[in-house]
Structure 1
């Protein structure tokens, strides 16, 4: 099986994990404030991966240097920015609008790839992005669109997530996967904890009454191990075998999985527009995977992975 296909399947699994945890996180942050929750979540994930690193991949510790730490820090900053701006934006806008605007990273990734890395996407990818964007609108909006300050914050969140994909692709082939993942996750944990100390009731993080609640405990275990440790390890490992544009399209499936999960576990009904939107996103992802005809003058693929 080709490495690119394995990478796409693995990243689709990551989108499935993220999409299926929406309900869990929503239940948990009703007891524990968002930045506090993220601080604990990412710290547990980083600790788990660090112990794994020390036990089974100790040789990677020799690769620690300033460039690796800086690369992991940059990835972590953009990832934290995405989570933080989305959380703050949700205070002023609806979750459906936030979902659509966050999904606009599917457009921003190929744009940044072209502007920052001079990578011109294939025509199939451009068409796939356009169809997926329409699908995102139908899935999350299907109504009027007005802009407020929350929407602006969430748009910057989409920029952060897009740049995280770009820089992950740039650094993932240069450094050991596990070590790079641990660095970025601890960066997010540190910035989230600092934010909770400054802007939230951080004392709740030490309340056994809150932490022992089933909703909080289950969400922390699932998101720390699966949606953070395993998910970002897979992204860091396999993004080197695919392109940023394809990654963005695959991750556009996250709200689809979230909608399906909410339908089964939270009794949220899917409208006809939402179903059509899910199909559009799926079609856009498949379209971007279709091979294009190669011209005789072409010496290498236009949309190569970063590295």
Structure 2
């Protein structure tokens, strides 16, 4: 199995983990507010990663310098921006619209990738993105409410997630994976904690009757280990073997896994258009992976 294919499979596993934990996070947020939850979640994940570094990868600390620290914090900032504006947008718009607009990162990535990294997506990737975007619309847009300020906030969130994908692709080739992942995770924890202090009842994050609630414990353990520490380590490690546009397409399957999890775990029901949307997302991802012989749009400066 070549590195590119293995990277795609690993990133698809990340989308599966994120999608399948959506219900858990929703349940936990009824006890702990979003920034507080993310502050604890990312802090625990950061401690886990640094603990692993200290025990098994101590040699990576020799690579620490200002450039590595800045790169990790820079990546972490865009990740935090995505979470922050998604949370802010949900105060003013519906979850279905937020899901669709967040998924538009699949459209934003190819354009920013070309501008920032000088990578031209091939024609199959462009068609795949178009198909997946239609699928996202059918899966998530269950209402026809007009646009509002919340939608603008969520669009900034989509741009933040898109830039996170792009800059991981840029910096993951230059620095040790585990160390770079730990720094970006702790950056999100730090910024989330600041926003929790400013805008939420941050004291809840220190109340044992809240933290020891079954829903919160389960959500924190699973999301901090699998959906944060493991997932972002996989993304940082394997994205160097693939292209940002392909990563965005793979991550577009997250709402598909979320819908499937909601169906089996929470009793949610999908409409016919939503099911068709799921199929279009999967088809768009597969279409972009078809052989690209004789394509006109290839990566600039390709050999």
Aligned to 2:91: 91
SS of the equivalent of 2:75 reads helix
Please state how far the C-alpha of 1:303 moved relative to its aligned partner: 7.4
Match of 1:24 in 2: 24
How far 1:252 sits from its partner (Å)?
A: 0.1
C-alpha contact (below 8 Å) 2:75/2:164 kept by paired residues:
yes
CA distance in 1, matches of 2:283, 2:14: 19
The residue aligned with 1:223 is 223
Query: Is 2:295 the counterpart of 1:302?
Result: no
Q: Provide the C-alpha distance between the structure 2 equivalents of 1:303 and 1:249, rounded to a whole number of angstroms.
A: 20
Match of 1:4 in 2: 4
Question: Is contact 2:77-2:188 (8 Å) kept?
Answer: yes
Q: Does 1:214 align with 2:217?
A: no
Alignment of 1:6-85 (within 5 A): 6-85=6-85
C-alpha separation in 1, matches of 2:83 and 2:209: 26
CA distance 1:140–1:303, change in 2 (3 Å): farther
CA contact (8 A) 1:19 1:257 kept: yes
> What residue in structure 1 maps to residue 292 of structure 2?
292
Tell me the distance in 2 between the aligned counterparts of 1:112 and 1:131: 19
Contact 1:8 1:242 in 2 (8 A): yes
SS of residue matched to 2:175: coil
Partner of 1:191: 191
CA contact (8 A) 1:121 1:303 kept: no
Q: Which moved further from structure 2: 186-195 or 142-151?
A: 142-151
Q: Cα–Cα, structure 1 residues 142 and 199, in superposed 2: closer, same or farther, change >3 Å?
A: closer
1-structure distance, mates of 2:240, 2:116: 17
Alpha-carbon distance in structure 2 between the residues aligned to 1:237 and 1:54: 19
Equivalents in 2 of 1:156, 1:165: separation in Å? 14
Task: State the shift of 1:176 in Å.
Answer: 0.1
Which portions of structure 1, spanning 4 or more consecutive aligned residues, are displaced by more than 2 angstroms? 142-145
For the residues of structure 2 that align with 1:145 and 1:251, how far apart are their CA atoms? Answer: 26
Task: Return the offset for 1:144.
Answer: 2.2
CA separation of 1:205 and 1:143: change in aligned 2, threshold 3 A: closer
Q: Distance in 2 between matches of 1:303 and 1:250?
A: 23
Equivalent residue number for residue 109 of structure 1? 109
Are 1:140 and 2:137 an aligned pair?
A: no
Q: Partner of 1:175 in structure 2?
A: 175
* Alignment partners' CA distance in 2, 1:96 and 1:150: 12
Equivalent-residue separation in structure 1 for 2:293 and 2:218 (angstroms) = 49
CA distance in 1, matches of 2:203, 2:301: 47
Q: Number of residue pairs matched?
A: 302
In the TM superposition, residue 302 of structure 1 has moved relative to its aligned partner by: 1.9
Unaligned runs of 5+ in 2: none
Decide whether the 8 Å contact of 1:81 with 1:160 is kept in 2: yes
Aligned to 2:166: 166
Distance 2:81 2:260 in 1: 27
| Alpha carbons of structure 1 residues 221 and 304: separation in structure 2 relative to 1, 3 Å | farther
- How high is the TM-score relative to the length of structure 1? 0.96
Contact persistence 1:204–1:210 (CA under 8 A): yes
SS of 1:31's equivalent in the other structure is coil
Distance 1:143 1:33, change over 3 A: closer
Distance (Å, rounded) in 2 between the aligned partners of 1:142 and 1:206: 37
- 1:277 and 1:304 map into 2 onto residues whose CA distance is 36
RMSD between aligned alpha carbons? 1.5
CA distance, structure 2, for counterparts of residue 291 and residue 304 of structure 1: 20
The answer on whether the counterparts of 2:121 and 2:298 sit within 8 Å (CA) in structure 1 is: no
